[in-house]
Structure 1
């Protein structure tokens, strides 16, 4: 039986708040307080109102609720694109928390500089959400100033924004951990592949190159620009060319540290196509702990991506509920190295490589 035929209803046949109030025997304001979850309603009254709402198939619209509360019950996410494992995993964590809190998720994807510019010109999130999560990419000073004009909390995810709420890992420290693993296996010629693309975005994971350099310095090893490359991650040929360059060096590396598991997986594919044994001749280390990493036996520096998404959503929810709380609160997640079958002790160096590396004396790692 429809709500319209079972009692009074709105002109369009759908139940109204007044219908719910009449059926429950309470005032319209009591229905409003109940459906907004306010604690001023007794459990007995709340039960009657919720039962009446179910019987009439009544649901509170977000727009109507926002007029009363000033809240949209939505959290927006700003992300460069949606076709990477990391972003998908982070968003799954975000959405799980928002569902539990009865909050909606609104996603803005800006895959190129033109759409990014348009977003900051128009600020479509204004009045459409109660908080904004900025995931993974760096903002300019001007862009941060524009977001301040939104009049809503802005939480930075997978990056540390000083003075602003942030949820992130220490990318440099994670890279140092990965490098120490390779150094402890006896590797001294270690390449680093820092992914790039043609969108012009600056990624927060760039700090991993800093950790790579710091680990070399700790070990007393020189930084060699020939061992660092920036392949375009969206083109398989770019990674193939980077690996080809490394293999053509007079003294090629014995290990490759890839900035992400997605790059590391492609590196292994290229090496095996070239009949280069992994890890016998070349060890490969990734970063992230992608869902395929365990299946492909990839050694990696793991970060809890889903947990980072959950923590970001929880932080957004807490700031929405208590806007006067510390605006600079943040949460840092640890990283850990997971050894698998893609890394092994370094093969004995050739005589030429030993002479070339003679200036770099052994250090305890």
Structure 2
């Protein structure tokens, strides 16, 4: 039986090329500190020996793992799927791997911050949409690697995010400019990891009302449990039971907006004839539903966050406090319109804001 064939090592390549093992390492990792002639000799020797650098071996030489870790509260949301789908190809193009840590509940969260499994297993960590305590932030600071915060801004630390306050302001101003003065806001409770954006969007809504000289009314702010249709029904019912119901509803995200529209239409409330509805995010669901919304691009956010992480890994002089703010944009569609005219509501006649036709007798005579 022939003896087992030994796999070639970096030392074997170095001997064949007539250079040191460290020169082989620098060459095969593409570093610019190797002359073209030496690079050609090393690459030729590696091809002849059918040699490939393992990440473990490279880590011993460089102190790097070739891995970027991601900390997320869930993998089931549209936002996370879009962000990670653009981050993965970017890292692969840079010869980096992606490692994902999902901590959907308090028990797994406590375990992660106790043991910090990303330590020594990654070159950078991207933290998506978490409200971290001061103690948790301090633990991440002790990792000894770049930590980039995504979809949130953290003072003194690299962050990539949309300005949720500004986006919600834009959305509320859009409804104000249509003529609405009674504008409700629906928030989500129980959405793990996303409370940061929730607080910021509510703040932007209130800020826009205040700027318009309209005192915020707490009765117009309702909450619905995430993934709970009955909670949405109850929240809409609370708004419709007010002495003066709203003429517009701004939902914290698109899924909540679509659920509210379904509830309104089941109760024979026309959208947008009697109530306009605006979402936030611009998920595919929004386009399918013809939902007016405030759009953000998580795919761009994931890509930009990945670029920032790579820069922090590879450039010792990079700004470790840099904040990158991405834009939002109001997308008007079919679920928003000017509020109904109170007199027309009482008489049942006038113009229907959806089609511009009279609601009353549509026949005419020619004299």
Same fold (TM over 0.5): yes
Deviates more, 1:275-284 or 1:334-343: 275-284
Q: Distance in 1 between matches of 2:343 and 2:192?
A: 41
TM value normalised by structure 2: 0.86
Unaligned runs of 5+ in 1: 354-365
Alpha-carbon distance, 1:350 to partner: 6.4
- C-alpha RMSD of the superposition: 2.5
Contact 2:188 2:198 in 1 (8 A): no
Match for 1:89 among 82, 88, 97?
A: 82
Equivalent residue number for residue 247 of structure 1: 240
Alpha-carbon distance, 1:72 to partner: 0.8
Contact 1:82 1:109 in 2 (8 A): yes
Match for 2:197 among 200, 204, 226?
A: 204
3-state SS of paired residue (1:293) = helix
- Structure 1 residues 170 and 28, CA, compared in 2 at 3 Å: closer, same or farther? same
Equivalent residue number for residue 39 of structure 1: 32
Alpha-carbon distance, 1:252 to partner: 1.7
TM value normalised by structure 1: 0.87
3-state SS of paired residue (2:245) = coil
Residue correspondence of structure 1 range 145-160 to structure 2 within 5 A: 145-160=138-153
Q: Distance in 1 between matches of 2:31 and 2:191?
A: 49
Residue correspondence of structure 1 range 39-118 to structure 2 within 5 A: 39-43=32-36, 45-47=38-40, 49-50=42-43, 53=46, 58-118=51-111
Equivalent residue number for residue 285 of structure 1: 278
- Structure 1 residues 43 and 80, CA, compared in 2 at 3 Å: closer, same or farther? same
Q: Distance in 1 between matches of 2:281 and 2:244?
A: 29
Could you list the per-position Cα deviations for residues 269-318 of structure 1 after superposition, in whole angstroms to 9, with x for gaps in the alignment?
Answer: 22233332221122111111112222221111111211111111111111
Equivalent residue number for residue 219 of structure 1: 212
3-state SS of paired residue (1:292) = helix
Unaligned runs of 5+ in 2: 347-367
